[in-house]
Structures are given as structure tokens and as C-alpha cells.
């Protein structure tokens, strides 16, 4: 049975009750935990995934950590996450095979990079080394931004991540061309200034004007082959953590939403 309930969006529950399923397939998540990473950042990711599952029983993240990244370790995973740490060490970590990461994403899997992980995935080229170019369309400048900042999830980001208050339920999500969400207190620490060439719409922007970060994107999406990439300059996994945002980023990268 099909019902029309709104003129400004649509509710998938009412469009077709037989085709929408709010129960997500489990997501296999590989978290890099090598010499170059921050323990706080890795712990924060694990906390966010655990907390998201507690808040929403429909979610299941099978996560593991590794200090080696190659094709063998990536086999069977849906998303690779590299978070905060030392970019110079990360760029030069012999245990990380960036070409294998590219192939992993090209074949349809996901990559999520936060801070150092975003530097590494981008086309950054600066005093601390060169990014791996996993994200073909994202450029990056080094910044010395430090402290706490608010970010705003754009209407594009809201629709892309199916972002809303409460549980993550794509069957209940109503698309909008105007809704945005401003989230407070994201940690930034020498955060990457992310951008794309030409016109583009970020997943999220920095909410404050006239700062060193205001001309950059806070969160960007990209594609490589048939895979998805999502990069964040600020830290949603650090205190005060944003489990609902981390979970949506992982779900999007894994094509669950």
C-alpha cells in the first residue's frame, strides 16, 4: 500500500512498508592502531561504536584494530578507519601499504579518515611529507588550529548521512533541502584544511566565521572507483564524543546508508 504523506520530502515507511528494513547488516570495521596513531583517538572510536550500538540495537559494528595495513589484513573488511596521530610517522610507516588501501576502496569498500587519517588520504604535499592520494579530489593544507570548534552539518550532509535526532533509521528519515545541524565542541589539533577544487558542497562546515578554518570544509566525502571516502578535520571521536556522527560516517562509508 502506498500513501502520500508530505509534499516536502518522503517517508520511506509510508512509501513502501515491504521494502524498507531498518535492521542494518553488520559492518566490519578495521581501525588502524599503529605507532603513528593516538591512543585517545583509537579508544574514542571504539567508545563511539560501542555507544552507538547501545543506543540503537539495530546497529552492529564488528571492529578490530591493527598496526599493519595490507591486502591480507583488509580482506573481509568493509571500512578502514585511520584517525588522529602523527602525520609524519604515518606517511612513513612501512607497515602501511597505501596502494593496497587504494585497491581496497576502488573495489567498493570504504575509508574514513580523521585528522591525520584525512591528511594521509588527501593530496597533501607539505613540510611533513605527502599524502597517499586515496581521495582523488580532496586537497589539504596544514593548519595550526587548536582547541574546540562548532561545526554545522549542511543540508547535503544531512541527506547524505541520513542525519536526524534520535536513532539511526533510514526508514523514518525525511529528506530536506533546508535542514542543518550545528554540533558544538569538536576538538581540533593542527587540523587539516580540507577542500576540493572548483565548486563543491561539504558534508559539514565550520560554524564560526573569520577563523583560520572558516575557508575550509570540516567534513568531505569523495569516491574512488566504486568505494566511498569520508574525511574529517575535527575529531568527532574525542571528548565530548559524537557517537551518532561517527556511526553515520561509518555506515555511509560502508554503503549501509
Per-residue pLDDT at 171: 75
40 belongs to a structural domain? yes
203 belongs to a structural domain? yes
pLDDT digits over 49-104, tens only?
Answer: 999 999 998 899 999 999 999 999 999 999 999 999 999 999 999 999 999 999 99
109 belongs to a structural domain? yes
CATH number reported for the structural domain that contains residue 214 in this entry: 3.40.50.880
Give percent of the chain with pLDDT exceeding 70: 91
pTM above 0.85, yes or no: yes
Domain that holds residue 97: 12-253
140 belongs to a structural domain? yes
81 belongs to a structural domain? yes
101 belongs to a structural domain? yes
5 belongs to a structural domain? no
Q: Is the pLDDT assigned to residue 17 strictly greater than 60?
A: no
DSSP the chain: ------SSS-BHHHH-TTT----PPPEEEEEE-STTB-HHHHHHHHHHHHHHHHH-TT--EEEEEES-BSHHHHTT-SEEEE-SB-HHHHHT-TTB-HHHHHHHHHTT-EEEEETHHHHHHTT-EETTEE----STTEEEEE---EEEEEEEE-HHHHHHHT--SSS--TTT-B--SS--EEEEEEEEES-EEEEESSS---SEEESSSSSTTTTSEEEEEEEETTEEEEEESSBTTSSSP-HHHHHHHHHHHTT--
Domain count, the chain: 1
Amino acid at each position: 500500500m502506498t500513501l502520500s504523506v508530505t509534499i516536502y520530502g518522503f517517508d520511506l515507511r509510508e512509501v513502501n512498508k515491504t521494502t524498507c528494513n531498518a535492521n542494518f547488516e553488520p559492518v566490519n570495521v578495521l581501525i588502524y592502531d599503529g605507532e603513528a596513531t593516538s591512543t585517545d583517538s583509537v579508544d574514542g572510536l571504539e567508545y563511539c561504536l560501542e555507544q552507538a550500538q547501545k543506543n540503537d540495537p539495530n546497529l552492529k559494528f564488528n571492529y578490530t584494530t591493527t598496526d599493519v595495513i595490507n591486502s591480507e589484513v583488509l580482506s573481509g573488511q568493509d571500512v578502514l578507519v585511520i584517525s588522529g596521530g602523527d602525520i609524519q610517522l604515518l606517511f612513513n610507516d612501512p607497515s602501511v601499504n597505501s596502494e593496497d588501501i587504494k585497491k581496497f576502496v576502488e573495489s567498493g569498500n570504504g575509508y574514513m579518515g580523521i585528522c591525520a587519517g584525512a591528511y594521509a588520504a588527501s593530496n597533501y604535499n607539505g613540510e611533513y611529507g605527502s599524502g597517499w592520494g586515496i581521495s582523488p579530489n580532496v586537497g589539504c593544507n596544514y593548519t595550526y588550529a587548536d582547541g574546540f570548534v562548532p561545526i554545522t552539518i549542511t543540508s547535503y550532509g544531512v541527506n547524505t548521512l541520513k542525519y536526524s535526532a534520535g536513532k539511526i533509521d533510514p526508514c523514518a528519515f525525511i529528506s530536506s533541502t533546508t535542514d542543518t545541524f550545528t554540533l558544538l565542541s569538536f576538538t581540533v589539533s593542527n587540523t587539516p584544511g580540507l577542500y576540493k577544487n572548483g565548486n563543491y558542497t561539504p558534508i559539514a562546515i565550520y560554524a564560526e566565521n573569520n577563523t583560520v578554518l572558516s575557508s575550509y570544509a570540516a567534513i568531505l566525502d569523495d569516491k574512488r572507483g566504486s568505494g566511498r571516502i569520508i574525511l574529517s578535520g575535527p575529531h568527532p571521536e574525542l571528548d565530548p564524543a559524537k557517537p551518532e556522527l561517527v556511526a553515520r560516517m561509518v555506515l555511509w562509508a560502508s554503503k549501509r546508508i
